[in-house]
Chains A and B, each alone.
Chain A
């Protein structure tokens, strides 16, 4: 009988877990060396809290359920809001800047698309209490350092934009929040024909209209930004462009790795400043991203500027080889046949493990069964404990070692 799983979730097999561990180890090391501290908020908490940080779109994607006492709860759909809550409530005695990192699963539900993944593993960092541009520079630097380490090469690029640019245009042109949402939604869904219909008759400058309708083509470098800067845009938008330009200028030595893409619209509403997203060149896959969210922690009770990012583990997994898995291949299988000594075997197992070698124990009486297991398990060595003698198999050779000489043999391992 095959017991089914609900769509959008999956079992993680040993290979997946080794890969995850590898990624976590690399990330843990980097975060720690950059002065970041690990935190882990709960898997679920009050919906009202989590919804404070979420836009309309994310709210619809959140799992909500009623607690046994009638309270409305929600599974976390991202980490930034719960960590912002921790910062506002728990770290009053900390002196900023505060640096946190996290690993864990988030849960989202996509009403419009059945079969969509619903459980995601994210790792990320939040830098609290550092204003622009220093926060941006640090977060982008650590983001790039992490990607370089994980992807093993420079096979990725990072697109940056500024949430204030489009916001500035829309705030000036659309006083009615309903219309503003309509435009934002068309931009996010990249429905430019619909956008043209909505923009028809709106009080936009010709520069604004031309830019919005061709937004995805506004990808490039500082030259593109300087062109936009001279256009007819609201003051807030120009300020955003100038900030973006200074940041891109700073990262110029990285060359093509950093690009401006004004169409980058992260689908979370709390961003107030620079936003960014990384893509793998070869696979064209999005890897993760983040941005500045200066009002989120304030909404939760303490006033700090903050910036952070999250990486989707599943998309970086392609690039990470599970090195940890090799340790198992160099492992040793100890078999206790019917008349071998359990005491000796357990003692030997301990001594080998102390050398940092993987040991697993089997209890096959029949040689056939042991062979079958060894063929499946592929250890480097197999020690079969018989009466007073241990049969040592290494590759194709078999060596018989007297039980009292086995410690000597271990010494050579």
Chain B
């Protein structure tokens, strides 16, 4: 390969600590990540790291500035980038759910107002059910929407369900299981799969 080390795009936020732990168990030198301060590009012995927003991890990998990325399949599903999804890392496990206000009765989904950070996932989900709904894109605190009457329901991720409960919401349907995935650049994987296989192999052995 052109470069001597591989580059990982890692998501800042809830997946970062678990990703670091996993890479460290896999024997990848993550010392630079521990002492990163505020730097976003870090070089280690066996790998380099780029820290970016979870939504951007597939972008960095698609354009090949990173060979690998770690990112949830919620993001992969929503942004639909051209990357190879190689392994389920089993980290950052949670569920994509459809939730409504507790006590609210819903007979059918027609014309439902749905607040979400994931408009594409919501659209896919409801078009699978062959109903048309109104989707309201929000950037955060999705649980708020049914409470204040902005929407009838939400499509969001939940790990323990605590935020839902505390805001008086109940899960109506589980849409998908979400977890951290290892993704790799399409052409790098094609051209250098032998070189990349060793990295993939050690990570997979840790996961399994």
Binding site for B on A (CB under 8 A): 112-113, 159, 190-194, 196, 216-217, 219, 261, 263, 279, 284
Contact B181 A193 (CB under 8 A): yes
Contact B197 A190 (CB under 8 A): no
Shortest CB–CB separation between residue A277 and chain B, in angstroms? 10
What is the CA–CA distance of A41 and B150 in the complex, to the nearest angstrom?
A: 52
What is the CA–CA distance of A263 and B190 in the complex, to the nearest angstrom?
A: 9
Contact B189 A113 (CB under 8 A): no
Assuming A190-B186, A216-B190, A284-B187, is B88 touching A112 (CB within 8 A)?
no
What is the CA–CA distance of A219 and B84 in the complex, to the nearest angstrom?
A: 15
- Nearest A residue to B64 via CB reads A284
Out of B84, B187, B190, name the residue touching A192 (CB < 8 Å): B84
Contact A113 B80 (CB under 8 A): yes
| Chain A residues with CB under 8 A of B83 | 190
- Nearest B residue to A190 via CB reads B84
Digit string of B124-141 for contact with A (CB within 8 Å is 1, else 0)? 000000000000000000
Out of B120, B181, B193, name the residue touching A216 (CB < 8 Å): B193
* Chain B: number of interface residues, binned into ranges: 20 to 34
What is the CA–CA distance of A185 and B83 in the complex, to the nearest angstrom?
A: 14
What is the CA–CA distance of A112 and B77 in the complex, to the nearest angstrom?
A: 11
Contact B85 A112 (CB under 8 A): no
What is the CA–CA distance of A156 and B188 in the complex, to the nearest angstrom?
A: 15
Digit string of B184-202 for contact with A (CB within 8 Å is 1, else 0)? 0011111101000100000
**B87 near A: Cβ within 8 Å?**
yes
Shortest CB–CB separation between residue A56 and chain B, in angstroms? 15
| Chain B residues with CB under 8 A of A194 | 85
Contact B88 A216 (CB under 8 A): no
Contact B193 A112 (CB under 8 A): no
What is the CA–CA distance of A196 and B85 in the complex, to the nearest angstrom?
A: 11
| Chain B residues with CB under 8 A of A217 | 193, 197
Shortest CB–CB separation between residue A289 and chain B, in angstroms? 13
| Chain A residues with CB under 8 A of B85 | 190-194
Shortest CB–CB separation between residue B190 and chain A, in angstroms? 6
Which residues from 23 to 56 on chain B have a C-beta closer than 8 Å to any C-beta of chain A? none
| Chain A residues with CB under 8 A of B76 | 191
Which residues from 79 to 126 on chain B have a C-beta closer than 8 Å to any C-beta of chain A? 80, 82-88, 120
Shortest CB–CB separation between residue B160 and chain A, in angstroms? 23
| Chain A residues with CB under 8 A of B189 | 216
What is the CA–CA distance of A217 and B82 in the complex, to the nearest angstrom?
A: 17
**B73 near A: Cβ within 8 Å?**
yes
Contact B190 A219 (CB under 8 A): yes
- Nearest A residue to B76 via CB reads A191
